[in-house]
Structure formats: C-alpha cells, structure tokens
Amino acid sequence: MKIQNWTDELRLAVVRRQAELPRDNKIYWEAAQAADGLPVYCDMGGCLVVQSTGRVELLDLDSQSVKKLEDERWLTIACLAAADRYPEFEVVRPTRPNGAEDCCKCSGSGRMRMIDARCGTCWGLGWIRS
Ligand SMILES: [Zn+2]
C-alpha cells in the first residue's frame, strides 16, 4: 500500500532520515536495511517501513521477510507514527473527520498505557469514524 498524495519532499525526507538512523537502535536499523526504507513503527508483529516511493511494507521480525500490507489500518498507523516521529511527515497525519467520537478504550489518546503500544480499537487514532 502507498501513502496518498506522496510528494518529492516526502521522498527526500525518507532518504535523509533513513541515512541518519542511529545504528545503536538495532531493530530500526536492521528493518531499514531489510525493507529498504524508513522504519516508523515496530511492535511484536513487525516493523512498518516507509519506502522512498511512499509504499509501506511490513517487515516480519521473526522471519525477516517483507510482507505486503493487506489491512488499510496498518497504513493509518504508519502515517500516524511517521508524523509523530518526524515533523516532515506531519502532512500525512490522518485528519479527524467531523462527528468522529473519542475512542472509549484509550480515552482518545490512541495509546495503551500499560504496554506502550497503540490502541487496537482505534488503531492509534484516538477516535472512531461514526
Ligand atoms: Zn483507542
């Protein structure tokens, strides 16, 4: 899957941020090599890696294999995580539609505090499309 409205600035931001990734962050650094892009989110399921073309791939950490995204919600998480980590990616942050309601599972924060992960109910958005 590809991030919509991908621009040349975003392509350059991926290239620059990928080159600047610190090697001591082993999981992210290895994910960048394996999927040739900028990892923006990792959890037990794998790493979401944004490539310079705007494509987002899921790197399975157990098998080190790159998988195609099949659920659009992963793309949402990738956009959110990219915007949270890097100011250049603020333009891809999903916008909250009028009438959306706060997610009751995470009280609108988008995060599960106990396990430091994104909320699985709203996929990290903090709101639910009504
Ligand atoms: Zn939630």
- Residue 62 CA, ligand 1 centroid: distance in Å: 27
Query: How far is residue 97's CA from residue 112's CA, in Å, rounded to a whole number?
Result: 22
- Residue 118 CA, ligand 1 centroid: distance in Å: 8
Residue 8 CB coordination number (10 Å): 7
Q: Residue 87's pLDDT is what?
A: 96
Residue 35 has pLDDT above 90, yes or no: yes
- Residue 12 CA, ligand 1 centroid: distance in Å: 32
Query: How far is residue 87's CA from residue 107's CA, in Å, rounded to a whole number?
Result: 25
- Residue 40 CA, ligand 1 centroid: distance in Å: 19
* 27 touches 59 (CB < 8 A): no
- Residue 109 CA, ligand 1 centroid: distance in Å: 7
| Model confidence pLDDT, tens digit, residues 87-116 | 999 999 999 999 999 999 999 999 887 777
Q: Residue 44's pLDDT is what?
A: 78
The dihedrals phi and psi of 110, each to the nearest 5 degrees, come to 80, 0
Instruction: Indicate the pTM of the whole model.
Output: 0.87
**Amino acid found at 117:** A
